[in-house]
């Protein structure tokens, strides 16, 4: 019989400071900077200026396509 050890509750939580450090490091390496003045309206204006048409639902389609890559074929029709 195999004995399975229950994890200590502390093992179930991540060190938030370490995660924040890693995320900050990755953001810096990708050249992404925090902009406290950013708004949804500014993002929409920037996308329009780049020629992205809202009616194309480009972002939503990308998210759905990425999600479907990980779903078994029998579940893909359930979320469409």
Question: Would residue 8 count as lying in a domain?
Answer: no
The mean pLDDT value for 50-55 works out to 91
Question: Would residue 45 count as lying in a domain?
Answer: no
Question: Would residue 72 count as lying in a domain?
Answer: yes
Question: Would residue 39 count as lying in a domain?
Answer: no
Whole-number Å distance between alpha carbons of 32 and 40: 17
- C-alpha distances in angstroms, 59 versus 16, 18, 47, 49, 68? 29, 30, 11, 16, 14
The predicted structure's pLDDT at residue 49 = 97
pLDDT tens by residue, 4-52: 888 777 777 778 999 999 999 999 999 999 899 999 999 999 999 999 9
Q: What's the domain count of the chain?
A: 1
Nearest to 40 by CA among 59, 64, 27, 65: 59
Question: Would residue 38 count as lying in a domain?
Answer: no
Question: Would residue 59 count as lying in a domain?
Answer: yes
Q: What is the extent of the structural domain holding 58?
A: 53-80
User: With 80 as the cut, is the pLDDT of residue 73 above it?
Assistant: no
Task: Tell me the pTM.
Answer: 0.45
């Amino acid at each position: 019989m195999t004995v399975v050890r229950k994890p200590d509750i502390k093992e179930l939580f991540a060190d938030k400071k370490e995660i924040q450090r890693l995320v900050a490091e990755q953001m810096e390496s990708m050249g992404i900077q925090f902009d406290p003045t950013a708004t949804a309206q500014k993002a929409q204006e920037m996308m329009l200026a780049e020629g992205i048409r809202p009616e194309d639902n480009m972002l939503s389609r990308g998210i759905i396509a990425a999600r479907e890559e990980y779903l078994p074929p029998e579940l893909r029709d359930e979320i469409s």
